[in-house]
Amino acid sequence: MCRAGCVRSLTLAVVVVVVVVVVVVVTPPTSSFLSCSEHGAHVTNWTVGGRDVLFLSSKAVLDGSKAIRGGIPLCFPWFGPSTHPDSSLQHGFARVSNWRCVDEQQDGRGLTMELKDSDVDPALLAGYSDSKFVVRYSVKILDGSSLGLEMVVKNVGDVPLPFSLAFHSYFRVAAASVEVRLNATGVRFLDQLSGSEGVNAGGVVEGFGDREIDLVCYGVTNPIDIVTNEGEKRAKSKGTEGGASANATTVVTIDASDGLRDAVVWNPHVAKSKAMADFGDEEYREMVCVESARVETPVVVRAGGEWACSLRLRVFR
Ligand code: TA6
């Protein structure tokens, strides 16, 4: 049985040896490593081909006393500030609660963690003190370049269970050369800094490194590409034509299930970076958050019902 907050590492090392023959033929990146903390069921590291896909702050607090800055925090059962008068907790209690590892794949490529209402500090439950739920979260290395995340929320109580959520993923990128392609046009968004709403005509978010960006984009149902500008030749391999600069190379594609129909895009830039004790002053240059979410219209699970969502992250280099 694992201690609270213990980190579990899943590797693909052995398989690589076997798969090298196959993988070289099919998908270039050949090895994948993942670590996950029971504190917040938090994926802290994922590497592909020996390179970090996720960003973890050098100042992240890993002793379980607060949410981990970086990796994939789970915002649940609310996103953003709490609307409950007794709670000032941002992004819900899931990321600051200790989950239990209830299953580990024999091949070491995946695990499942669970959080029940009884696992949550009652002081953090806010408007959920009458709710009875079981959340199961599975994290799997799908192949040498893909990671799969699945969440199932069961309402085991006798009152409806409303919630919003986000997979608040931090990706390690050179922020100044990144664009986030929503692969849709006329995307409605809420600017969380100004509170104003707008429409992103071309469906591309860029300008990271120039200013703080904090957008909730609604109705984003197509896969999202985090693209870096690294030159013509690679662009052809992915066929990323039209809409944005042709000489871009996709680094990560985010494929979310239908229920996750919103996407949050965030980079803290200078001032917010300095304001966060668990984040380096210059680290905004190394990351972008692209968060598959359900924010605009919360999910409501009837008593005895359940709701599921999934996410696939794929790396192309
Ligand atoms: O997802 C973007 C956001 O809501 C930003 O507004 C910013 O506050 C960020 O989350 C980080 O929140 P945290 O509570 O982890 O400091």
What average pLDDT score do residues 233-242 get?
A: 43
Residues 202 and 161 in one domain: no
265 shares a domain with 218: yes
Asked if residue 204 and residue 131 are part of one domain, the reply reads no
**Contact (Cβ atoms closer than 8 angstroms) between residue 226 and residue 254:** yes
Supply the pLDDT for residue 187: 96
Q: Are residues 150 and 262 in the same domain?
A: no
Mean pLDDT, range 75-97, rounded to an integer: 95
Instruction: Report the domain count for the chain.
Output: 2
CATH code (residue 194): 2.70.98.10
Confidence of residue 7 (pLDDT cuts 50, 70, 90): low
Same domain flag for 119 and 184:
no
Name the token pair of 11.
């590797």
Residue 6 counted as domain residue: no
Average pLDDT over residues 73-84: 96
Using a 6 Å CB cutoff, which residues line ligand 1? 67, 80, 90-91, 168, 192, 214, 264, 266, 289, 291
- The verdict on residue 218 lying in a domain is yes
d(CA 27, CA 12): 14
Residue 26 and residue 145 in one domain: yes
Query: What does the pLDDT read at residue 76?
Result: 98
pLDDT of residue 86: 85
Residue whose CA lies nearest to ligand 1 atom number 13 = 90
Residue 315 · residue 146 · CB < 8 Å: yes
Give which of 80, 56, 291 is closest to 180, Cα–Cα.
Answer: 291
Each residue of 13-65: pLDDT tens digit?
A: 444 444 554 444 444 445 788 899 999 999 999 999 989 999 999 999 999 99
CA distances from 262 to 79, 197, 200, 217, 259 (A): 12, 14, 14, 6, 9
Task: Examine the domain organization and report whether 184 and 121 are in the same domain.
Answer: no
For the residues 236-248, what does the mean pLDDT come to?
Answer: 46
CA-based nearest residue to 313, from 150, 105, 114? 150
Q: Given this model, what pLDDT does residue 248 score?
A: 58
Quote the CA–CA distance of 259 and 60 in Å, as a whole number. 30
Q: Are 111 and 101 in contact (CB under 8 A)?
A: yes
291 tagged catalytic:
yes
**Pair 39, 141 in one domain:** yes
Q: Is the pTM of this model over 0.75?
A: yes
- Domain residue limits at 310: 12-169+300-315
Contacts of 304 (CB under 8 A, 6+ apart): 155, 156, 158
Query: Are residues 253 and 306 both part of a single domain?
Result: no
Residues 148, 188, single domain; the answer is no
Mean confidence (pLDDT) of the chain: 87
Ligand 1 centroid distance, CA of 192 (Å): 10
| Distant-in-sequence, close-in-space partners of 108: CB < 8 Å, separation ≥ 6 | 10, 11, 14
Residue 231: the pLDDT is 52
Same domain, 36 and 64: yes
pLDDT at 141 over 70: yes
* 33 and 158 co-located in one domain: yes
pLDDT at 73: 98
pLDDT in the model for residue 249: 75
Does residue 9 surpass a pLDDT of 70? no
pLDDT in tens, 255-280: 999 999 999 999 999 999 999 999 99
Q: Does residue 2 lie in a domain region?
A: no
Beta-carbon contacts of 143 under 8 Å, excluding residues fewer than 6 positions away, are 23, 27, 32
Establish if 283 belongs to a structural domain: yes
Task: Work out the percent of the chain whose per-residue pLDDT is above 70.
Answer: 84
